Amino acid sequence: MFFYARVFLRHFYGSPLPEIPEFDEEPELTDPVLRDARDGAHRGDWRPVRKAIEDAGADWDLRDWRISAFAGMAGEDDRWLYAWLRAEPADPAAVLIQAMLLHRQAADARGSASAARTSAEQFENFRALSEAAAEVGRRAIALAHPSDPVPLTTLLGTMFADRRTVETSFEAVFAEGRRRDPVNFELHRTAIMLRCEKWYGSHEQMFAIARGVAAIAPPGHKSTLLPLFAHFEYAMREFAWDVRTRRSLNLCRKYFRRPEVRHELDQWIAKYRGGSHGAGPLSLCQQWMAVYYCLAGLKPQAKIVFDELGQYPEPITEWGWYWGGREIGYLKGWWWANGVKL
């Protein structure tokens, strides 16, 4: 009742509300290249998929985004992918999509719960599918262009299932990926996750990777915002680990309102805003900024970012870390930024 009263007052005594976000839009429907490739794949024609990847050229972030999107499509219907693999078994893009598909299936098999709430059977399926993804991923590396870092990112991603693999192989794989692309966004994001305290590292290792790449990335590059991701991981682990309550949210808010935290994150955002962002999608980075602004209580800045995100966002995981669910977290932030408190 009070919520609708606030909406009424906001509508009639404030500026008009933007269109309320909707979350049922598939990402490929908003990207004409992915949409055309998806339509071809649904007809059993994998060639538009191959062309979309080829057209990304040496823009590794864009190539990664498209291959990842196609792996997601293959998760719904993989007949076009295996038709492609039968026709061109040595195509590096097709093999990499297969590796990413297996990696996604491994993550689904494990689930998103904490280790204490994950069964032995789930862990075993996670391990087996991750090993299969790693085997295909190594073949993708052998087939890929020697400057392509994307298969290295996928191979890093398969290491979540086995601490021993991280201990024996992480440094070599990560180093090779950085040799190919020193500021690659997904490579470093995956490395940050592997080396965070939640998985197989520490807060110090995580922040070192994030700040290191952000420092050398050019203005506008997405990697300049990786310290935001590291701070989200830190706050979740320290104040909201396995619990989502009003108290945990308040503790996270207090953390992001510390002067030293705000000073650092505002500097990275200024560097990101200060240059060209490239051809890849920006929603993840925009939502990182929105999460930070909501936690830090910076309403005008949050409003700007939500307006940039538009009506059809795909809510990221970090909303759920603090508000208990991705969609409800996004909506709470959106309403607050638009002058209506849930």
Weakest-pLDDT range from 72-76, 86-90, 200-204, 252-256? 72-76
Residue type, 182: P
- Categorize the per-residue pLDDT at 119 as very low, low, confident or very high, splitting at 50, 70 and 90: confident
Diameter of the chain by CA atoms?
62
Distance CA 305, CA 66 (A): 24
Predicted confidence (pLDDT) at residue 195 exceeds the cutoff of 80? yes
Predicted confidence (pLDDT) at residue 7 exceeds the cutoff of 90? no
Domain around 171: 31-181
- CA–centroid distance for 320 within its chain: 13
Is 253 inside a domain boundary? no
Distance CA 15, CA 9 (A): 10
Q: What is the mean pLDDT of residues 194-223?
A: 97
Is 68 inside a domain boundary? yes
Distance CA 95, CA 140 (A): 6
Distance CA 16, CA 337 (A): 13
Distance CA 203, CA 215 (A): 18
Quick one: pLDDT at residue 15?
61
Distance CA 211, CA 180 (A): 19
Quick one: pLDDT at residue 342?
64
CB atoms within 10 A of CB 69: 23
130 compared with 116, residue with greater pLDDT: 130
Quick one: pLDDT at residue 278?
80
Predicted confidence (pLDDT) at residue 8 exceeds the cutoff of 50? no
Domain count across the chain: 1
Is 187 inside a domain boundary? no
Is 204 inside a domain boundary? no
State the average pLDDT for the chain.
90
Distance CA 23, CA 15 (A): 24
Is 113 inside a domain boundary? yes
Do 177 and 64 form a contact (C-beta atoms < 8 A)?
Answer: no
Predicted confidence (pLDDT) at residue 4 exceeds the cutoff of 50? no
Is 324 inside a domain boundary? no
Q: What is the mean pLDDT of residues 272-300?
A: 94
Predicted confidence (pLDDT) at residue 108 exceeds the cutoff of 50? yes
Predicted confidence (pLDDT) at residue 157 exceeds the cutoff of 50? yes
Is 40 inside a domain boundary? yes
pTM for the predicted model, two decimal places: 0.90
CA angle in degrees (0–180, nearest 5) for 210-258-193: 25
Distance CA 327, CA 317 (A): 9
- Categorize the per-residue pLDDT at 124 as very low, low, confident or very high, splitting at 50, 70 and 90: confident
Is 283 inside a domain boundary? no
Quick one: pLDDT at residue 33?
85
Distance CA 28, CA 180 (A): 28
Quick one: pLDDT at residue 24?
64
- Categorize the per-residue pLDDT at 194 as very low, low, confident or very high, splitting at 50, 70 and 90: very high
